[in-house]
Amino acid sequence: MSLHSNRLAPARRYALVLVDLSVGFTDPSRSRLAAPCDEVIEANRRLLAAFRERGDPVFFTTVAYDAADQSRVFREKLPALNDLVAGSALVEIDARVAPAAGETVVVKRAASGFFGTDLAARLRAAGVDGVVVTGLTTSGCVRATALDALQHDLRVLIPEQAVGDRDEAAHRANLRDLQLKYADVVDLDACLALLGR
| 31, part of any domain | yes
| 3, part of any domain | no
pLDDT in tens, 118-127: 999 999 999 9
Out of 91, 141, 149, 156, pick the active-site residue. 141
Torsion of CA 155, 160, 165, 168, to 10 degrees: 130
Q: What is the mean pLDDT of residues 40-53?
A: 98
* Longest Cα separation, the chain: 50
Residue 8 pLDDT grade (very low, low, confident, very high; cuts 50, 70, 90): very high
Q: Identify the CA nearest to 146 among candidates 32, 155, 26.
A: 155
| 166, part of any domain | yes
pLDDT in tens, 72-98: 999 999 999 999 999 999 999 999 999
pLDDT in tens, 145-179: 999 999 999 999 999 999 999 999 999 999 999 99
The amino acid that residue 54 corresponds to is R
| 58, part of any domain | yes
Tell me the Cα Rg of the chain.
16
Q: Tell me, yes or no, if 37 is annotated catalytic.
A: no
pTM higher than 0.85, yes or no?
Answer: yes
Total tally of structural domains belonging to the chain? 1
| 9, part of any domain | no
| 6, part of any domain | no
| Rounded Cα distance, 185 and 77, in Å | 29
| 1, part of any domain | no
Task: Give the domain extent around 185.
Answer: 14-195
Query: What CATH number did the domain enclosing 51 receive?
Result: 3.40.50.850
What pLDDT sits at residue 150?
98
| Rounded Cα distance, 129 and 56, in Å | 12
What pLDDT sits at residue 1?
59
| 2, part of any domain | no
